[in-house]
Amino acid sequence: MKITTIRAIAHAAPAPDMRGEGRNYCYVKVETDEGLHGWGEATCGSLAVVPMVQELGAGLIGENAFAIELLWQRMYHCSHNIRGGVIHMAALSGIDMALWDLKGKALGVPVYELLGGAVRDNLWCYGRFDGPSPDAAMQHARRSLAEGYTALKGDPFVGRGSYLHSEALDAAVETILAVREAVGPNVEILIEAHGRLSLESATRFASAVRPARPFFIEEPLVPEDLEGLSILRSRTAIPLATGERLLTKWAFAPLLERRLVDIVQPDPAHAGGLTELRKIAAMAEAHHVWMQPHNPYGPVNTLAAAHLNATLPNFMIMELIMEAGMHDWFGQILTTPFPSPRDGYFPVPTAPGLGLDINEDVLAGLPPAREAHPSSYLRHARVNSLQGNSWS
């Protein structure tokens, strides 16, 4: 089975996401001389990924679509200079994902069967507790509990301004303690910080929220700060997670070798597709570290993560954002039903391939728009400067 066409299709979400921001999504379609096709996702926050998919794809025309590892190596080593950046890796990941989908469809089996077979039928997943105030976060948490979730994740720092400032930290701590009070002792609370904190502010925050018994703190520091993670790990007993902005097994190797975190979070659409995430998962397992693939994107990435999670001995929990107004539009772009979580678990898809197909006519009616994701660091540094806040 030979590859005949590889295309990237970008589109804007039908509605703003749960933060009220715009986002473009990018899907990759691989077609073959036998009339079969596969879908992948290369969403990464930049439309620059579209020509990168076209460039990488042009080098694969006429190749055996089943030779996924060989094609991965060719795409990764395509140039001495561009290797490994997020645009390159997102394009590679989307093509890789589409090749797995294609192969599963051609063989009539779900992708998890190609990855060694499932070790579970349902995937523990989490809801959300985000909100601009403690009361709003508590209400959000209660809604998620009513939907059956037993674990909730939220970002208590949203809209707080500078995250090194004492007032911002105190407000975030207040939110976490309020959510714990709202959900009781038997629901897991996951905290994401998006790398906003310094070592000292992360230390203070971890100490203050310890009574809430967080399940983990995600990306407390920027992912490159391995020394900072090492020091923070020595200062807190709260489990740490990171990895959504790390690409390839080579970036995860030092993190794992030094056991700096308890959970790694590579993104299927960024870190190298299913081919690379399998290897990262095996490395993590060898170091007694859990896996929770990052997944705030579209339906293709979600189902790719589900197939991978189904096969991993060291899978911990699934990121699944099904908030109204953000991902309730999956059904609009798919020609196949999208699974729904039930009682806090996401069912492992059983249809051939990844278990989906996309309506290209619908995508054509959703042309990409300008991304509305300014740097949170620069935005909040600007707020801090204008307000004359003190730093601590």
Residues designated catalytic = 194, 294
Asked if residues 251 and 242 have their Cβ atoms less than 8 Å apart, the reply is no
The CA distance from 365 to 204, in Å, is 48
Cα end-to-end span (Å), the chain: 60
Q: What is the CA radius of gyration of the chain?
A: 21
Beta strand segments in the chain, E: 3-12, 24-32, 37-41, 122-128, 151-154, 188-192, 216-218, 240-242, 263-264, 290-291, 318-319, 345-347
The closest alpha carbon to 301, from 323, 320, 324, 276, belongs to 320
The closest alpha carbon to 229, from 242, 248, 215, belongs to 242
The CA distance from 375 to 71, in Å, is 34
Angle at 248 between CA 246 and CA 253, to 5 degrees: 80
Kindly report the length of the chain.
392
The closest alpha carbon to 284, from 271, 269, 300, 270, belongs to 271
Contact residues for 190 (Cβ-Cβ < 8 A; gap 6+): 126, 151, 152, 153, 154, 214, 215, 216, 218, 317
| Beta carbons within 10 angstroms of residue 72's beta carbon | 20
